[in-house]
Copies of this chain bind each other. A is one copy, B any other.
Amino acid sequence: MPVDEFGLIDRYFRDAGAQRADVLTGIGDDAAVLAAPPGELVVATDTLVSGVHFPEGSPAQSIGHRALAVNLSDLAAMGATPDWALLALTLPAADEQWLEGFAAGLSALAREHGVALVGGDTTRGPLCVTVQVLGHVPAGTALLRSGAAAGDLLFVSGTPGDAAAGLAIEQGACNASGAQRDYLRQRFLKPTPRLSLGARLRGLASACMDVSDGLLGDAAKLAAASGVAVEIDYDSLPLSPALRAVCGDSRARELALAGGDDYELCFSVAPPRLPQLLARLPPRQWHYTQIGRLTAGGGSRVLRGGTVMQFSHPGYRHFG
C-alpha cells in the first residue's frame, strides 16, 4: 500500500502532542491558525541531521524526542513557556515502524510540556529533522544572552559532560556497563529541556543560554553577547558519579567543559539577587551549581587554584 506524504502526516502526527483549545486550525490545512498567546512570542528552530547530530541508526524514539527537546531547550533558555510545534521531516523512505517510534518519542515529550503539534511537512530525502517551537513570555521578561555584567555569578544546571559520554558509548568509543552505561546513554538519547528552571529564572537571571555545543564555548558566547569575560572554576564543575566513574576525573571535567548535547542551562545572576535565587530555587532541588563568574574584559578562562588552564577545543562547531 503506497503511503503518500499526506497520509504519513495524517496517520502518525495528527494526534501527536497535546490537545489545546488555542489551536483553531491544526494539521491538515495550508497553515495552522492559533490564538495569539499573552505577552511576547518566542520562536526557535533547530535541525538534527543523521550522522551529524545523532549516529546513523539511532533509535527513532530518541530522534523524535531529541528533535523536540533541543528546541524546547532554546525556549527554556529564554524563560519561555512552550505552546506549539511544527515538524519538517525529511526521510529516505516511508518506514512505518520508524515513523511510529519517532512520533511516539516526539509526542510523549510534547504532551509532557503541553505542546501541540500544529503543522509540518514530510519530504523524501536524506534523514533530517527540523522542528520549530513557539512559546511565550510575559512582555519584557525574556532571558537574553546579553544581560550579564561584570561581577555576576555563573551557574549551570545538571551535570554537563554526561551527554558527550553517552554519545561516545553509543558510538562504541567509550566502555561502560550496567547502570552507569544506561544513565549516560539516556543523557544523550533523551535530554531534558529545563523549562521549569528557565521559567523560574525570569526576573532573577541576568543572562541565560542553553548548553548545546559545550559549556566553555557556550559560556564564552554568553559573555561575548554581554560584553564581558567569563571565568570557570575547574574544580567547581558538577560531575555526575557515572561520568566520573566511567571517564575518570580529568576526562570527565574535559567533557563537562567541551562536550556537546547537554541541553542544560548556563545562567548568570547578579550578587544582590543571590539570596532570592537560593530561596526561590533551592539548588539541591533544582540541581544547579555555581561554576564561575563574569568579569570585565573579554574571552573565557578556566581557572584551577588561581592558575589559568589551557584547552584546545572550545566546543563543537559545524564547518569548524
- A116-156 CB mask vs B (1 if < 8 Å, else 0) is 00111111111010101111110000101110000000000
| Neighbouring B residues of A75 by C-beta, 8 Å | 30-31
A60 at interface (Cβ–Cβ under 8 A)? no
- A84-100 CB mask vs B (1 if < 8 Å, else 0) is 10111010011000000
Docked-complex contact B319 and A145, CB < 8 angstroms: no
Docked-complex contact B34 and A43, CB < 8 angstroms: yes
Query: How many copies of the polypeptide does the oligomer hold?
Result: 2
Docked-complex contact A33 and B137, CB < 8 angstroms: yes
How big is chain A's contact interface, by range? 35 or more
* Min CB–CB distance A240 → chain B (angstroms): 24
Docked-complex contact A123 and B47, CB < 8 angstroms: yes
Q: How far is the CA of A215 from the CA of B86 in the complex (A)?
A: 25
Docked-complex contact B130 and A318, CB < 8 angstroms: no
Closest partner residue, chain B, to A139 (CB atom): B35
Docked-complex contact B84 and A52, CB < 8 angstroms: no
Docked-complex contact B2 and A93, CB < 8 angstroms: no
Known: A45-B120, A49-B90, A122-B318. 12 other contacts (CB 8 A): A2-B320, A3-B319, A4-B319, A29-B78, A30-B44, A31-B133, A33-B137, A43-B119, A46-B121, A49-B125, A123-B318, A130-B130
**Chain A residues in contact with chain B, CB under 8 A?**
2-6, 8, 24-25, 28-53, 73-75, 77-78, 80, 84, 86-88, 90, 93-94, 118-126, 128, 130, 132-137, 142, 144-146, 208-210, 221, 225, 317-320
